[in-house]
């Protein structure tokens, strides 16, 4: 197991990197060449020390009094996140949310492309949304194999999510981006990322109600 110089990055850091990245790209287009941790921290009302720790994990080194080379940071973060790789995904379930994702233009920035969409509803087959044709879900496995697809986006109702996940695994897909509230049972080698509206809403509402006292 050759993990000589393999650095395990904390997940909190990992979650902050894409946020920094967006900001760095913005200031870069405005012509800046260098930026300090203080400047980044100010933008996000966070702590310069934390930003420095986060940036350190990208491997980029800064210069005292000058800061970090913005371009170098952008490159390092994108490479680290895997956004310089070709990330091709299939999307399953062309409801409102599926449609929204199919038409989401910013995915290009993340090296991310939805190359095909699938649905079980015959009425939707053949339609074209955001430049992507909708195919029958039965064809998912074979096409995923042929095209070496790595990522499956699940935007079907919870009741059919498990079946779709199994199709993805059968098709050789190794990463699942699950927008349904279903708990998926797949082999441990498969990476799953859940996007749970209920969780996000719970954080918001509990802060608004129960914990509001804290703001006093």
| Contact range with DNA by CB under 7 A, out of 4-12, 79-87, 111-119, 181-189 | 4-12
Q: Tell me the CA distances in angstroms from 128 to 115, 124, 140, 168, one per residue in order.
A: 12, 9, 17, 22
Q: Which of 5, 64, 96, 131 binds a second copy (CB under 8 A)?
A: 96
Q: Tell me the CA distances in angstroms from 9 to 3, 13, 177, one per residue in order.
A: 13, 7, 21
Q: Which of 25, 28, 52, 71 binds DNA (CB under 7 A)?
A: 52
- Residue 174 interacting with DNA (CB under 7 A): no
E strands in 52-181: 68-69, 87-92, 112-119, 128-129, 132-136, 151-154, 175-178
| Contact range with DNA by CB under 7 A, out of 34-42, 95-103, 135-143, 184-192 | 34-42
**CB nearer to a second copy: pick between 136 and 181:** 181
HSE-up of residue 102 (Cα within 13 Å, Cβ side): 25
**CB nearer to a second copy: pick between 139 and 163:** 163
- Residue 20 interacting with DNA (CB under 7 A): no
DSSP state at residue 63: B
Interaxial angle between packed helices 37-44 and 48-56, expressed in degrees from 0 to 180 and rounded to the nearest 10: 120
Binding mask 45-84 vs a second copy (x if CB under 8 A, - otherwise)? -----------------------------------xxxx-
| Contact range with a second copy by CB under 8 A, out of 28-36, 65-73, 94-102, 159-167 | 94-102
Q: Tell me the CA distances in angstroms from 2 to 5, 7, 21, 58, 159, one per residue in order.
A: 8, 12, 29, 19, 41
- Residue 56 interacting with DNA (CB under 7 A): yes
Q: Which of 7, 32, 33, 66 binds DNA (CB under 7 A)?
A: 66
**CB nearer to a second copy: pick between 8 and 65:** 8
């Amino acid at each position: 197991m050759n993990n000589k110089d393999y650095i395990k990055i904390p997940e909190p850091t990992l979650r902050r990197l894409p946020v920094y990245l967006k900001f760095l790209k913005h200031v870069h287009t405005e012509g800046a060449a260098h930026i300090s941790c203080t400047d980044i921290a100010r933008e996000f009302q966070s702590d310069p020390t934390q930003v420095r720790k986060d940036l350190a994990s990208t491997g980029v080194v800064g210069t005292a009094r000058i800061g970090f080379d913005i371009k170098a940071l952008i490159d390092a973060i994108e490479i680290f996140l895997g956004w310089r790789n070709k990330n091709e995904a299939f999307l399953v379930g062309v409801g409102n949310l599926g449609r929204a994702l199919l038409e989401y233009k910013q995915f290009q920035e993340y090296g991310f492309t939805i190359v095909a969409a699938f649905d079980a509803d015959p009425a939707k087959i053949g339609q074209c949304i955001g430049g992507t044709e909708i195919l029958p879900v039965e064809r998912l496995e074979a096409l995923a194999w042929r095209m070496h697809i790595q990522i499956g986006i699940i935007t079907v109702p919870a009741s059919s999510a498990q079946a779709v996940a199994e199709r993805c695994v059968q098709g050789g897909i190794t990463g699942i981006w699950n927008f349904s509230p279903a708990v998926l049972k797949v082999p441990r080698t498969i990476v799953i990322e859940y996007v749970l509206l209920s969780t996000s809403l719970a954080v918001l509402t509990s802060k608004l109600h129960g914990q509001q006292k804290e703001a006093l």
